[in-house]
Structure 1
Amino acid sequence: MSKLGKTGVIFAVFGMLFAGIGGWIWLGERSFEARSVAAEGTIIEMDRYRDSDHKTMFRPIAEFTDANGRRHKFASKTSSSSPAFSVGENIAVLYDPAAPHDARIDSFSQRYLLPVIFMAFGGLFLLIGGGAAGSSLSSARTTARLKQSGLRVEGTVVDVFKDESVRINGRSSWRIVAEATHPETGELRDYTSDRLWDRPVGVDIGNGVPVYLSRGGAKAYFVDAANASRSSARHVRNDQTPPAVTAPNLAGRSFGRRTRSFGRSA
C-alpha cells in the first residue's frame, strides 16, 4: 500500500475511534434518560474557572428538589466559553432516583452536543481516510492487472519534478513524467508516475522507464518508476536540489501522432 494509503488507514482508525467514543457517550445518555426522573431546577451559580489552556470557562451549578422533597445541588459536566445560563434561570433536570446526586440539565447542548461533535469529526476522518485507503487499494489492483496483462513499452523520462499539491508530515512527493507511444494507436503521450516519497536519485531526462498501458484504448496506465534506468554518476541525497540536466538531442526522431496531455495513472 502507498504512503498515502497508509495515512488514510490511520485517519480511518482515528475516525472510528472518535465516532465510537461519541456513540458510547450518546448511548450512555440514552440509558441514563431511561432510568431517570424529571424535575424542575434552578441555576444558582455560574462557576467561572480556567482550563488547562488558561481559557476562561463557565460551568452551570443547579439545584432541584427530588420526589421525596430533598434538595440537591450538582455541577454540570459540560462547560462553555461564555455563560450558557443566567443565575436564577429555571431549567429542566433529569436525575437518577437511586442516586439523586447523578443529575443532568436536560438540554441538547448539555447532554448531546459533545457526542455529536465526536461522531461528526469521527465520520469526517473515516470518510477521508477510507477514501484515501480505498483509492490506494484500487490503484494497487489496477497496477497489478496492467503488469500482468497490459502493454509494456519503454518510455523516455522528459521531466522529474516535486509535487507540492499533497504534503504528508511536511514532506512533498516527487513525480516522473515519461513519454511513450501507444503501440495500438501510435499516439505519443506524457504519462505521470504515482507519488514518490523519496527523490528518484539518478533518474534524469532522457533515461528509459517502463510504462504499462491498458489495451483497447482504455486510459489506465502505470509508470514503473522503481525500474527506471539510472545514471550511476549521480550521487545526490534526497534533501538536495536535483542537479541541472540537459535534454538529449532528439532530432530526427519520429513520434507519429503526438499528445502532450496527461493520461490517468493507475
Structure 2
Amino acid sequence: MKLKLRVIFFLIFCLPGLAILGYSAKLAAAAHGLTSTGLTANGTIVDHERQTRRRVGQWYCPIVEFFHQGASYRFTDNDDCKQSRHDAPTGSRVEVVFDPAQPSRARVDSFRGLYGTSLLSAAIGLPWLLLGIALVVRVR
C-alpha cells in the first residue's frame, strides 16, 4: 500500500512539477539567449490587440513596430498585456530586443516581458514539486 501511495504521489505531484520547472527553464533560457545574442532597437506601440481571457476579462496586448536595416517589423507582445490601453498608450516608445537573423522574433526588452512567464510557471511548478517530494518521503 505504501509503495502505491508513493507512486501515486510521484505521478501526481513530482512529474508535473518537474515538467513545469523544465518548461520554465526552457523559457528562461530562450529569453537569456535572445538578450545575449540579440540586438536592441527602439520600438513604438502602434496599436493594441484585445484578448478575452476567461475569468479575468479583457486584456490589451501592445503591438510594437520597430525598424531594422530599413525594414519595418511588427509583433504583439503577449507577455506584457495590460487591463487598460492607457497603461501602455499608443505612440509610447519601448526598447526591443530581437534576433538579427529573424527580426520578427522580437520581444520588449523588460524584465517582465522577457522573464515574467518563466518566473510565473516556476512559482507554480516548484511548490508542486516540493509538495510531491515531501509526500513521497513522508509515506513510510
2:29 corresponds to which of 20, 27, 30: 27
- TM-score, normalised to structure 2, is 0.85
CA distance in structure 1 between the aligned counterparts of 2:51 and 2:4, rounded to whole angstroms: 44
Residue correspondences, number: 136
Mapping 1:1-266, distance limit 5 Å = 1=2, 4-9=5-10, 10-51=12-53, 55-66=57-68, 68-78=69-79, 80=81, 82-83=83-84, 84-136=87-139, 139=140
CA distance in structure 2 between the aligned counterparts of 1:51 and 1:121, rounded to whole angstroms: 19
CA distance in structure 1 between the aligned counterparts of 2:54 and 2:134, rounded to whole angstroms: 35
Answer with 1 or 2: which has the greater Rg: 1
Displacement of 1:6 after TM fit? 3.7
CA distance in structure 1 between the aligned counterparts of 2:110 and 2:94, rounded to whole angstroms: 9
Displacement of 1:129 after TM fit? 0.6
CA contact (8 A) 2:62 2:81 kept: no
CA distance in structure 2 between the aligned counterparts of 1:100 and 1:108, rounded to whole angstroms: 20
Q: Which runs of 5+ in 2 are unaligned?
A: none
Displacement of 1:57 after TM fit? 2.1
Displacement of 1:3 after TM fit? 5.8
Aligned partner of residue 48 in structure 1, secondary structure: strand
Any runs of at least 4 consecutive aligned residues in structure 1 with deviations exceeding 4 A, and if so which? none
CA distance in structure 2 between the aligned counterparts of 1:13 and 1:30, rounded to whole angstroms: 25
Q: Which runs of 5+ in 1 are unaligned?
A: 140-266
Query: What residue identity is the alignment partner of 2:47?
Result: E
CA contact (8 A) 1:8 1:131 kept: no
Distance 1:120 1:49, change over 3 A: closer
Looking at secondary structure, tell me which structure has more helix per residue: 2
Percent identity of paired positions between Structure 1 and Structure 2: 25
CA contact (8 A) 1:7 1:129 kept: no
Higher relative contact order (CA 8 A, sep 6+): 2
- TM-score, normalised to structure 1, is 0.47
Deviation per CA, 1:100-151, whole angstroms, max 9, x where unpaired? 1111111111111111111121110111110010111xx2xxxxxxxxxxxx
Displacement of 1:2 after TM fit? 5.5
CA distance in structure 2 between the aligned counterparts of 1:107 and 1:69, rounded to whole angstroms: 24
CA distance in structure 2 between the aligned counterparts of 1:109 and 1:6, rounded to whole angstroms: 37
Aligned partner of residue 119 in structure 2, secondary structure: helix
CA distance in structure 1 between the aligned counterparts of 2:8 and 2:61, rounded to whole angstroms: 38
Superposition RMSD in Å:
2.1
